[in-house]
A and B are shown apart, each in its own frame.
Chain A
Amino acid sequence: MWARGLHRRFGAVAAVQGIDLAVRRGEIFGLVGPDGAGKTTIMRMLAGVLRPDAGEIRLEGVDVVADPERAKPLLSYMPQRFGLYEDLTVAENIYFYATLFAVPAPVRRARSAELLAAAGLLAFRRRLAGQLSGGMKQKLGLVCALIHTPLVLLLDEPTTGVDPVSRRDFWGILYGLRERGVTILLSTAYMDEAERCSRLALLHAGAIRHCDTPARLKAAMPGALLAVVTPDARAAHAALAGAPGLLGLLLMGDRVHVRVDDAARRAPELRALLAGQGIGAADIAPVEPAIEDVFVALLGPGSPP
């Protein structure tokens, strides 16, 4: 699946401006970016429900912009907002979508049993979709999206509001799909999920700023990262603002991640600075950047263009 030169505006808002991306079969491609970056808009265009103002989209050789109807049987799109019928049961929703995609009854029965089991929803088949928990709803969305065995799966923040156990189920299903060569494109607000993607596109203001594997994105992060562990991380975070050689500061629970131009030179300086402010017992050591650090470094204020 690839897209070239995608543009879309809503009135005065240029939601997407010039996106190029290519996702290979069997890839899990992640879109990350702040709220309003244009993730949903891109997905809706790829799914053929929103017409781009300009640009080209190809999905398994089908021109999505010109012929969305032909692309639809090949793909599945799970919107950010739950889009199934809340007053139908789990089984009825599955039946409904399977029939819309012309899935033969035996295939439907086999697949829905398999998918429901994987999602841990077998016991809830007769429950109304509206009465499911948030995580169960998202998993039902995925089951309905997969009932017709799509080649391309578009998931818009599929795990937002989902508990860690359900998220694990969710990713279990995604890895299984990847094995079978399904192309997956998802947007996520969770950095640990971003880390699991084979490639990531960092999106900002409707444009892709960086696009690479998580490992290479980390390597490309300018500067080096130091973790400052102290009993009072909040005070340390405040004290470190404006320190010489500082590129970025990120409060992470009991520690502060400090991005500096030169780790060897700055570490003693920072220790001295903290001691001077009466924040002692600070342990300062270089760390591997998490994807969140990269995200902040590349997209945050003062980031390279």
Chain B
Amino acid sequence: MFERLHVMLVKEFLELRRDRWAMVRLIVPLLIQALVFGYAATFTVNHVATVVLDLDRSQASRTLVSHFAANGRFDIVEMAATQQAVTHAIDTGRAVVAIVIHAGFAAKLANGRSAPLAIAVDGTNSNTALIALGYVSLIVARFEAEAMAHGWPVPGETASSGADVPLQERPWFNQGLDDRWFFIPGVIGTLTLIQVVSLTALAVVREREVGTLEQIMVSPIRPFEFILGKTVPFFLIGLGDVVLVTVFGVLWFGIPFVGSPLVMLLGSSLFLLAALGLGLLLSTLARTQQQAFALNFFLVNPFFILSGFAFPIAAMPPVLQWFTLINPLRYFLVVIRAVFLKGVGIDVLWPDLLAMGALGAGMLALSVLRFRKSLD
């Protein structure tokens, strides 16, 4: 048995080595995607094109505008003269946010009455709009605080009630709330899942499609020896993926890695087990490489979306939340983020590790059982 497995591995290694582009195909997309995710996958919005209509032209209104200008989140692209000009700027997409300060802003502020300030955002990009709106309220709050300090009464019934202490959000483990710290560890899991599942599924289906599987199955090799021979190389490639993107994230993006590499290795191994199982399962469902490709596409996307990579699982409807329970990526993201940012160990992560191990074992067992049938 050991000899057959060994010769299977030798064969896989020879084929991989003979495939001149294999290493390029394996590594380059991974690094490019890590780069793209690292730079693009962020919830921070900077340089939002902003149009301002200041109908008050007072010192107070100018101060408010300068707050926006100084912040860096907003680029004031136009000081409009009329309401029409504002509408036009939004309609043509020149600006995403409009700030309209109505006449009497300073006077009302001075009287301690509610001062009118209109903010309009282009809702067609609701993400940017919502995030920008968040900044607007922050800037306005800061302006209020400053206005008080300068002796302008701020809107509100009494002076003291205007000096509300703003709610301070201070995350614990990612103190700069750098989205990248959150995303790059997620990217490791996601890219590894995509690569390992598709490699495994395609490699097995390819052998069936070109007829080498039939030839090899009349030899005394057992299905599980064949499967092991096919999956061990991809397991190693998957581990390589994890190490590569981790090192890249730490060196290039400066993501801290505070946890234990051993816990990471354990988590990655269990995750890869599940990914390999999934790939094999796909290979028993697909007759051709095209079908495998389509199935892979069909499955990996939901796995990605329902993993908690970007969208919080707690916010999903219950049915989808249940689905996430069989999603190995969900558990791996918990493990990998925790290892990266919190540095917690097995004592905390064991439920997630256990879940991945169980999923992996289940899927592998199922695919070995299905493998026999798929030969007919």
Q: Give A contacts to B, CB under 8 Å.
A: 44, 47-51, 69, 72-73, 75-77, 79, 81-88, 92, 95-97, 99-102, 128
Kindly provide the distance from the CB of B145 to the nearest chain A CB, expressed in whole angstroms. 70
Is residue B212 within 8 Å, beta carbon to beta carbon, of the partner chain?
yes
Is residue B14 within 8 Å, beta carbon to beta carbon, of the partner chain?
yes
In the complex, the chain A residue whose C-beta lies closest to that of B17 is A87
Contact B219 A72 (CB under 8 A): yes
Is residue B138 within 8 Å, beta carbon to beta carbon, of the partner chain?
no
Contact B220 A48 (CB under 8 A): no
Contacts of A97 in B (CB 8 A): 219
Pick the residue among B3, B14, B15, B214 that contacts A79 (CB under 8 A): B214
Contact A83 B211 (CB under 8 A): yes
Pick the residue among B4, B18, B212 that contacts A100 (CB under 8 A): B4
Contact A50 B4 (CB under 8 A): no
Kindly provide the distance from the CB of B217 to the nearest chain A CB, expressed in whole angstroms. 5
Interface residue count on the B side (C-beta < 8 Å): 25
Is residue B365 within 8 Å, beta carbon to beta carbon, of the partner chain?
no
Report the bound CA distance from A99 to B219 in whole Å: 10
Contact A102 B3 (CB under 8 A): yes
Contacts of A73 in B (CB 8 A): 220
- Known A51-B376, A88-B15, A92-B14; judge A100-B216 contact (CB<8 A): yes
Pick the residue among A51, A77, A102 that contacts B220 (CB under 8 A): A102
How many contacts A-B (CB < 8 Å)?
Answer: 69
Report the bound CA distance from A92 to B15 in whole Å: 11
- Known A87-B18, A88-B11; judge A99-B3 contact (CB<8 A): yes
Report the bound CA distance from A73 to B216 in whole Å: 12
Contact A101 B219 (CB under 8 A): yes
Report the bound CA distance from A101 to B4 in whole Å: 8
Q: B5-20, CB under 8 A of A: which get 1 and which 0? A: 0110011001100110
Kindly provide the distance from the CB of B71 to the nearest chain A CB, expressed in whole angstroms. 59
Pick the residue among B4, B214, B221 that contacts A49 (CB under 8 A): B214
Contact A50 B376 (CB under 8 A): yes
Is residue B215 within 8 Å, beta carbon to beta carbon, of the partner chain?
yes
Contact B15 A85 (CB under 8 A): yes
Contacts of B6 in A (CB 8 A): 99
Contact A99 B376 (CB under 8 A): no
Report the bound CA distance from A264 to B221 in whole Å: 62
In the complex, the chain B residue whose C-beta lies closest to that of A77 is B218
Contacts of B3 in A (CB 8 A): 99, 102
Contacts of B24 in A (CB 8 A): none
Kindly provide the distance from the CB of A305 to the nearest chain B CB, expressed in whole angstroms. 31
- Known A82-B211, A99-B4; judge A76-B218 contact (CB<8 A): yes
Is residue B73 within 8 Å, beta carbon to beta carbon, of the partner chain?
no
Report the bound CA distance from A88 to B215 in whole Å: 15
Kindly provide the distance from the CB of B149 to the nearest chain A CB, expressed in whole angstroms. 75
Contact A101 B218 (CB under 8 A): no
Instruction: Tell me the B182-220 residues at the A interface (CB within 8 Å).
Output: 210-220
Is residue B222 within 8 Å, beta carbon to beta carbon, of the partner chain?
yes
Report the bound CA distance from A93 to B315 in whole Å: 55
Contacts of A49 in B (CB 8 A): 214, 217-218, 375
- Known A99-B3, A99-B4, A100-B7; judge A85-B218 contact (CB<8 A): no
Report the bound CA distance from A87 to B7 in whole Å: 15
Contacts of A83 in B (CB 8 A): 210-216
Report the bound CA distance from A72 to B19 in whole Å: 31
Contacts of A84 in B (CB 8 A): 212, 215
A to B CB contacts below 8 Å, 26 in the list = A44-B214, A48-B218, A49-B217, A51-B376, A77-B215, A79-B215, A81-B211, A81-B214, A83-B212, A83-B213, A84-B212, A85-B212, A87-B19, A88-B14, A88-B18, A92-B11, A96-B11, A97-B219, A99-B3, A99-B6, A99-B7, A100-B216, A100-B220, A100-B221, A101-B220, A128-B18
